[in-house]
Chain A
């Protein structure tokens, strides 16, 4: 990147500076012996041309919208269109959440994002023995198409994109969404949105699983295939590092395991006979914005460059859209503290800023009370306003990739890429992600990092203000959202009425046909649409999966 004589001058300056530092430190010793990121990555006192001298501007950095996309996936980035402000919302009944959605749209939110309750996420109906006490607690309860119709009632789903955080029953929830839209006369080809549908990271980190890994991936590929043919504007998988990071991974581990999950979906889809360029443009990503500001920016930049190269070199994609790593970001829940909860607004702000400087396509900002419960309307408004301030007040959207070319940020981008590549090479040697999961490899690596962080937190090496430093005795009470305890019974009654009024013969035959499709390796999506339209319940469809594919149980390693 630099001429030889420039480098010589720089290096001479560096030794002068070094000598001055030694003198200074003899009076005021270094504040910390080790300076690391939150991921325990050592950081030097200063970065200089020396650290990026091997880089080639055109090949490694370049322009936004051009391979390898280090600086952003679109040529205009936020100059043309801001990121989508997408607040994750869902609680109580479909009606409760529908009201919250309408409120958020009214406040200027530009996309919807749905949180489901635990029974829905795990494929159980309200009222199932495994679902007691959980209805509507951490998301909205969806049992049948009727709930889905109510959830999006009156919302312009042909114009607004909808993200749905759902995994084992992703294909089922997607079928319900398509069915509900088509009942309103909106064709599936017009629907835009995302289902998370990333089963691999469930086994690695989020632990919402139902069937074994191989069968789970098969259903994911069914949705990729169906989407490519019938719902072309839909992102069929949101390949997610968020949960990997929340489970305790480092930034490099988050990046490596996420990209490897992506590689696996691409490989499996190609094995299905799909052309890489027919489906890869609809793969999207989802990353965490953790508390270490520069490490996160470097991670997003490295992610784009690595994915572009994998797609081009490993999978021989030719459509540039296949090479774009488009991603959603959520600020880090695990960085928030229950102690002095108002401080969380500040944490979320800097995390969101890192996502913006890293070029995210959409963003959820956590609310200050999310460490305690689902957010209230008041706290979620502050979180949304945080994004609006970043977008429209502070000037960071005036220029694209403002940190590109920074010695530190470029060097850190390279470093994180290098660490992530080492993991990827290792998993290649293991025989891929399914084999690695079988060996509990990513699970153990993450558990080690989580334990390391906890010990550093306990020893005061990693600081969380208000939790292990600057603690106060007085408790700050924040008002919390309460979920109606009667909801569970009301939802059970509603489900009972639907079961009485539907054509139960048709339900049985639809479920039988679904099972047959599962067993015969036919794409399950058309059968799920039939089931959804006959008001089969979520659990009835999931039980069909469980019957044919079997059940995965947590190996419980620690």
Chain B
């Protein structure tokens, strides 16, 4: 039996509308052969985690560019834990001050990709680090 494709939720939490990066990533993931769901803009962490569950994703890629990332990532991680799906990997990209990247990783975000990261590098990271979740 061939392995199921990796499923990714690209998510835009919060009120900021900068979706250029999120949409490019979504397209690149799709072109790389992953299954991609994009939440669209202005989602709360609650809505994002609900979508992740509904779509049975293996990874969430969250994009934030307006400064609210510490709250939004922490809340999303808390909700994943609460729902018992800590095996859904949270990753992120956007504009974060250097010291906040460490904070995001410490709270449990698996990887942060900053502006300028080549798309191939991100795709390779996903291939190397994300496995389709078991028991689905």
A169 to B27, CA, bound (A): 32
**Closest B residue to A118 using CB positions:** B15
Please give, as numbers and ranges, the residues of chain B lying within 8 Å of A447 by CB-CB distance. Answer: 23-24, 27
Against A, the Cβ 8 Å flags (1 = close, 0 = not) of B50-67 are 000000000000000011
B111 at the interface (CB under 8 A from A): no
Partner pick for B40 among A208, A338, A480, A555, CB 8 A cutoff:
A555
B41 at the interface (CB under 8 A from A): yes
Q: Is A124's CB under 8 angstroms from B24's CB?
A: no
A477 and B15 form a contact (CB under 8 A): no
Given contacts A121-B15, A137-B68, contact A129 B27 (CB under 8 A): no
Q: Which residue of A lies closest to B37 (CB)?
A: A556
Q: Per-residue CB proximity of B1-32 to A under 8 Å, as 1/0? A: 00000000010001111111011101110100
Which residues of A sit under 8 angstroms from B30, Cβ to Cβ? 558
A373 within 8 A of B: yes
Q: Is A475 an interface residue (CB 8 A)?
A: yes
Least CB distance, A273 to chain B, in whole angstroms: 33
| In the complex, residue of chain B having the shortest beta-carbon distance to the beta carbon of A128 | B15
A132 CB contact (under 8 Å) in B71, B115, B119: B71
Give the Cβ gap from A210 to chain B, nearest Cβ, in Å. Answer: 10
With A118-B66, A138-B67, A371-B95 known as contacts, the answer to whether A206 contacts B27 (CB < 8 A) is no
* Residue in B closest to A209 when the chains form the complex, CB atoms: B17
Cα of A222 to Cα of B22 in the assembled complex, Å = 34
Determine if B97 and A373 form an interchain contact, defined as CB atoms under 8 angstroms apart: yes
Closest A-chain residue to B69, C-beta based?
A133
Within the complex, what minimum Cβ distance (angstroms) separates A200 from chain B? Answer: 14
Name the residue on A nearest B40 (C-beta): A556
A138 (CB) vs chain B CBs: closest residue: B66
Report which residue of B19, B41, B114 has the largest number of chain A beta carbons within 10 angstroms of its beta carbon.
Answer: B19
B38 within 8 A of A: yes
Residue contact B40 to A554, C-beta cutoff 8 Å: yes
Residues of chain A with a CB closer than 8 A to B18's CB: 207
A483 in contact (CB, < 8 A): yes
Q: Is B98 an interface residue (CB 8 A)?
A: yes
From A129, A371, A372, A451, B24 is in contact (CB under 8 Å) with: A451
Q: Shortest CB–CB separation between residue A407 and chain B, in angstroms?
A: 35
Tell me how far the C-beta of A342 lies from the nearest C-beta in chain B, rounded to whole angstroms.
Answer: 15
With a cutoff of 8 Å between Cβ atoms, the chain B residues found around residue A374 in the complex are 67
For residue B120, CB closer than 8 A to chain A, the reply is yes
Q: Are B41 and A138 in contact (CB under 8 A)?
A: no
Residue B72 interfacial (CB < 8 Å)? yes
Closest to B71 in A: A133
What residue in chain A is nearest B97 (Cβ atoms)?
A480
- Interface residue? B110 (CB, 8 A): no
Q: Known interface pairs A118-B68, A138-B66, A447-B23. Does A556 touch B41 (Cβ–Cβ under 8 Å)?
A: yes
Distance between Cα atoms of A423 and B30 in the complex (Å): 28
- How many angstroms from the CA of A118 to the CA of B14 in the assembled complex? 9
B116 x A558 contact (CB < 8 A): no
Check B68–A477 contact: CB distance below 8 A: no
Query: In the bound complex, what is the Cα–Cα distance between A132 and B73 (angstroms)?
Result: 12
- B98 contacts A477, C-beta separation under 8 Å: yes
Contacts of A124 in B (CB 8 A): 15
A308 to B68, CA, bound (A): 42
For residue B42, CB closer than 8 A to chain A, the reply is yes
Q: Does residue B85 face the partner (Cβ distance < 8 Å to A)? A: no
Minimum CB–CB distance for A87 against chain B, Å: 19
List B contacts of A334 (CB < 8 A).
Answer: 20
* With A130-B44, A134-B15, A558-B27: A458-B67 Cβ-Cβ less than 8 Å: no
Q: Which B residues are in CB contact (< 8 Å) with A555?
A: 40
Q: Which residues of A contact B115 (CB under 8 A)?
A: 337-338, 371, 467
Among B67, B72, B75, the most chain A Cβ lie within 10 Å of the Cβ of B67
Measured in the bound complex, the distance between the Cα atoms of B66 and A209 in whole Å is: 16
CB neighbors of B among A438-457 (8 A): 447, 450-451, 454-455
Q: How far is the CA of A246 from the CA of B20 in the complex (A)?
A: 8
> Which of chain A's residues has its CB closest to B10's CB?
A558
In the complex formed, the residue of B with least CB distance to A471 is B116
Q: Does B84 make an interface contact (CB < 8 A)?
A: no
Which of A130, A451, A557 makes the CB contact (< 8 A) with B15?
A130
> Are A556 and B14 closer than 8 Å at their CB atoms?
no
Using a CB–CB distance below 8 Å, which chain B residues touch chain A?
10, 14-20, 22-24, 26-28, 30, 36, 38-42, 44, 66-68, 70-72, 75, 95, 97-98, 114-116, 118-120
- A sample of 21 inter-chain contacts (CB < 8 A) reads A124-B15, A132-B75, A133-B68, A133-B72, A134-B67, A134-B68, A138-B67, A246-B20, A338-B114, A338-B116, A371-B95, A372-B95, A450-B24, A454-B24, A455-B119, A467-B115, A468-B116, A480-B97, A554-B40, A556-B39, A556-B40
4 A-B pairs closest in CB distance: A133-B71, A556-B40, A207-B17, A137-B67
Q: A137-B67, A207-B41, A475-B98 are in contact. List 7 more A-B contacts (CB 8 A).
A: A122-B15, A131-B15, A138-B67, A334-B20, A447-B24, A451-B28, A558-B36
Residues of A that sit less than 8 Å from B by CB: 118-119, 121-122, 124, 129-134, 137-138, 202, 206-209, 246-248, 334, 337-339, 371-374, 447, 450-451, 454-455, 458, 464, 467-468, 475, 477, 480, 483, 553-558
